[in-house]
Amino acid sequence: MASKPRLLTVLDIVTALLMAAAIYMVFIFAPMERVMGAVQKVFYFHVAAGWAGMLGFFVAFVAGIVYLITKQSRWDRVELAGVEIGLVFMFICIVTGSIWARPIWNTWWTWDPRLTTATIMELAYAAYMMLRSGIEDPERRARFGAVYSIVAFISVPLTFFSIRIFRTIHPVVIGSNDPTAQGTFNMTPAMGQTFAFSLIAFSFLFAALLWHRIRLGKLQEDVERLKLQLQS
């Protein structure tokens, strides 16, 4: 395998710096929210993780389409990397959301559209992992994986709208203000800056992880090929 590209090293360093800065902003720079107190600070990384998770599933969706058209195994690696990292970030998003909901909504769990959609998504992509593990032939595994990553991603907006028709209590912090939502707050400029910075930091973290995971996939493939060569 080729040695680590210089750009990746740069990306790693930039990501580490951005994450350190984002942590500083969340813990020290951002002001304490007047009503909710410290737990409101979970919001910054909660939304950023949700964003990174969606990004991962979207990357997998696009890579799935490109794989079916080109049949190049590198797109399969991109797709698997996107799903795996998406699962990690979505998990963070769901658990932190639940922790935030406990003091604010007074319950660990509620069947809110976003919460439910995120959980169903997590289950669908867990099913994706099981599908892949059930197929030995790498070419077929890639094809089926691509098909399922497309189907799973298409169903996400439908799931969301279907649950949306129920009443929601999820706060919409950015954009419209729904008076029935509980736990809404107005962002001060410092909060806005912290929030924007968290999003940027998580985007970089996502990109760096994705790149590393794709390289891991390449290495895995090389090892498998070597094994096959030795057996024959």
Closest separation in Å from C-beta 176 to another protein: 19
The torsion angles phi and psi of 33, rounded to 5 degrees, stand at -75, 145
Closest separation in Å from C-beta 222 to another protein: 6
Q: Are 127 and 57 in contact (CB under 8 A)?
A: no
**Tokens linked to 207:** 């990109």
Q: Are 11 and 211 in contact (CB under 8 A)?
A: yes
Residue 143 found at the interface with another protein (CB under 8 A): yes
Q: Are 84 and 53 in contact (CB under 8 A)?
A: no
Number of C-beta neighbours around residue 68 at 10 A: 15
Closest separation in Å from C-beta 197 to another protein: 15
**Buried-exposed string 205-223: b where 16+ CB fall within 10 A, e elsewhere:** bbbbbbbbbbbebeeebee
Output 16 or 169, the one with its CB closest to another protein.
16
Residue 35 found at the interface with another protein (CB under 8 A): yes
Output 13 or 227, the one with its CB closest to another protein.
227
Q: Is 37 left (phi over 0), alpha (psi -120 to 50) or beta?
A: left
Binding to another protein in span 10-29, by CB under 8 A: none
Amino acid at residue number 137: D
Where helices occur in the chain by DSSP H, the ranges are 6-24, 42-70, 73-104, 113-133, 138-164, 189-231
- The binding track of 149-188 with respect to another protein, each residue x by CB under 8 A or -, is -xxx-xx--xx-xxx-x-----------------------
Answer for which of 134, 175, 179, 189 binds another protein (CB under 8 A) is 134
- The binding track of 194-223 with respect to another protein, each residue x by CB under 8 A or -, is ---------------x--xx--x--xx-xx
Output 114 or 212, the one with its CB closest to another protein.
212
Site of interaction with another protein (CB under 8 A) = 1, 32-42, 45-46, 49, 68, 88, 91-92, 95-96, 99-100, 102-103, 120-121, 123-124, 127, 130-131, 134-136, 140, 143-144, 146-148, 150-152, 154-155, 158-159, 161-163, 165, 209, 212-213, 216, 219-220, 222-223, 226-227, 229-230
